Chains A and B, each alone.
Chain A
Amino acid sequence: MNSRRHAGERGQILVMMAAVLAFLLVPLSVFLVDTGLVEASYAQLGETLQASVEDGASQIDQQAFRQSGGQRAVLDQVAARQTCERSLTTSGLSGLDAVSVTVTATTVTATATVHVKLLVVGSASVSQTRSAGFVVGR
């Protein structure tokens, strides 16, 4: 009796497996990969921004320094902005967009957004802001 009853149920597990694969495993795998892509991009954006603002904040005003006989060390704000932007461009970070660099007398601040292309559909955007200070004698 039992074997006759089970005979009609043969193959059901295949259907269940197909459903589980389609509705659970594949979306979960995609989610895992996408999370990794976004996290890696976020970390790399932070590192790149930090390096760029540090590059910018190292731009001493050479003319002011020489004219003062080495007594006055100030940040060259124009060079700081250009260097920071060039550093960000050089990094070749894919999906880099909306870069904003702000330079004050002692600080270089950069904000940028990266668009991360996701595995299956669409893209995600991650933004970060980093700052570096112009410091002499440390």
Chain B
Amino acid sequence: MGDLRLPAAALRLLLLAVSHVVGEYMAVRAASSQAAFAAARAPSAQAAQAAGRRAAQEAVSGSQVRNFQVNISTGGFERGGTLTAQASGCVSLADFPIARETLGQCVPLRWTAHALIEPYRSRTP
């Protein structure tokens, strides 16, 4: 049974790598939707960019997503219009050599969320 120790450890590492990628994927997804909702409630297009980026950064603050970026498209920031937030990044598999051989050095993650721009609170008086 001693012969099985190495393969068993390798399998455990693979499972850990998969769960690592899934966890970071959830963080990117949450960042995207939270950025969209925060931006949609901002008083101006400039404030929407700032609020969206702040919300996205908070959402991924506890994660290990690398090269994280969030692009917020406010369009004309018209009342009742649609706002889009796209979050992207990659999850490093440097700690998982076996998974790295299969999935690559850094697994890209991306998610897009949309939100309705607030008709009332989306403007300063």
Binding site for B on A (CB under 8 A): 13, 16-17, 20-21, 24-25, 28-29, 32-33, 35-37, 39-40, 43-44, 47-48, 51-52, 55, 58-60, 83, 86-87, 90-92
Contacts and interface: CB of A to CB of B under 8 A. Distances in A.
A28 B22 CA distance: 13
B14 A47 contact: no
A89 to B, nearest CB: 9
Interface residues of B, number: 30
Interface of B: 3-4, 7-8, 11, 14-15, 18-19, 22-23, 25-26, 29-30, 33-34, 37, 40, 80, 82, 112-116, 118-121
Q: Is the interface of A mostly helix, strand, loop or mixed?
A: helix
Contact of B15 (A25, A44, A59, A83): A25
Given A28-B15, A91-B114, A43 B30 contact: yes
Contacts of B22: 32-33, 35-37
